[in-house]
Structure 1
Amino acid sequence: MHLFSRYELIAPEVKLLFDNFTPLIFTGVRLPDGRTVSFYGLHPQPPQSWSQPITMRDAHLLTAALRAHETQVPSILAGDFNAVPWERVKRRAMRIGSLLDPRVGRGLYPTFDVHSILLSWPLDQVLYQDEFALLEFKRLPAFGSDHYPILASLCHLPAAAD
């Protein structure tokens, strides 16, 4: 997993919390006005079959949501969650972290599988706290991956929380 940013990353950490194969990225991001926000990059392992438990995936999502809740600065969670928006764990993470989903009221924006017309799921997600205002949200064209990229343009606007 890679994280590239135009803005300075503050104390970035790659954590292997529950196994040796699934990194989570925790970092601060210094905005152009000097303020700092938190960013959590996620890509938990997907269940490999219908019978495999989703416990580890859920633990990653809920851990990031809990850290977002506990931090004193506004937070963004983003990545391939390997969970769809209507799953219980995603709704629970949103409640725990006081997070907003830009898809609500706008559509599903399926991102996986680029190669399938009939079966496509919204696995790639961006969640943010209410101190951000959403400027733009869209699915971008395929670029060679099995996932479509998504673009979420956010503006740190503390007054938006009111």
Structure 2
Amino acid sequence: MPEKSLNLQIYSKLPVENTQIKSLGEGRPALLADVTIQGKVVSIIATHPNIPTRNSSFKQRNQQFKAIGDYVREIKNPVVLLGDLNTTMWSPFYQKMVDNAGLINTRQGFGILPTWKTPIPWVYIPLDHCLVSPEIQVKNFRRGRDVGSDHRPVIADIVIPKKP
């Protein structure tokens, strides 16, 4: 079995609590953390599922999507799920995960904004995503500038609801 690597990081101006590395299905683990914003705990999940280059890794990635959806559905806090998901939003496996988890793609209403350069230099596809719980408002979504990676960053301006 190949070694699982975790090349994920969460940076925050606010204190990050309850950090853990958790396997959600087979393959690469996810990085979990909580941040308290205006008295409301928000759960963050950073993930980078397997690259579907073979039938086995395709199945593994799709199983990870199912496990992520199941896990998010059990979280009581608002959720922000982000990362290179190695799929587009048109994938039926991605759509099942989003539906199962009850999340919203922050791209919605802002365009496709592709992030990953394919082997064809002028063709990009949207592999990098930020998904949020329905109670989180999305004010803006944009693709960041080229930072020297084969992926462009995504930037989502979101508003966390005040604690009732």
Given the two structures, how large is their TM-score scaled by the length of structure 1?
0.86
The structure 1 segments of at least 4 consecutive aligned residues displaced by more than 4 Å after TM superposition are none
Determine helix, strand or coil for the equivalent of 2:72. helix
Q: Equivalent residue for 1:85?
A: 89
Q: Equivalent residue for 1:4?
A: 11
Answer whether contact 1:68 1:74 (CA < 8 A) is retained: no
Q: Equivalent residue for 2:41?
A: 36
Write out aligned runs for 1:55-134 (5 A).
Answer: 55-113=59-117, 116-134=120-138
1:114 positional shift: 7.5
1:103 positional shift: 2.1
Q: Distance in 1 between matches of 2:94 and 2:13?
A: 28
Aligned AA (2:112): L
Aligned AA (2:42): V
Q: Equivalent residue for 1:26?
A: 32
| Identity rate, percent | 24
Q: Equivalent residue for 2:51?
A: 46
1:156 positional shift: 0.9
Given the two structures, how large is their TM-score scaled by the length of structure 2?
0.85
Equivalent pairs, count: 156
101-110 or 150-159: bigger deviation: 150-159
Q: Equivalent residue for 2:144?
A: 140
Aligned AA (1:14): I
Aligned AA (1:38): S
Cα-to-partner distance string for 1:26-83 (whole Å, 9 max, x where unaligned):
221111x12101111110110224x555121122222222222111111111000001
Structure 1 segments unaligned to the other structure (5+ residues): none
Aligned AA (1:101): N
1:102 positional shift: 2.1
Determine helix, strand or coil for the equivalent of 1:103. coil
Structure 2 segments unaligned to the other structure (5+ residues): 1-7
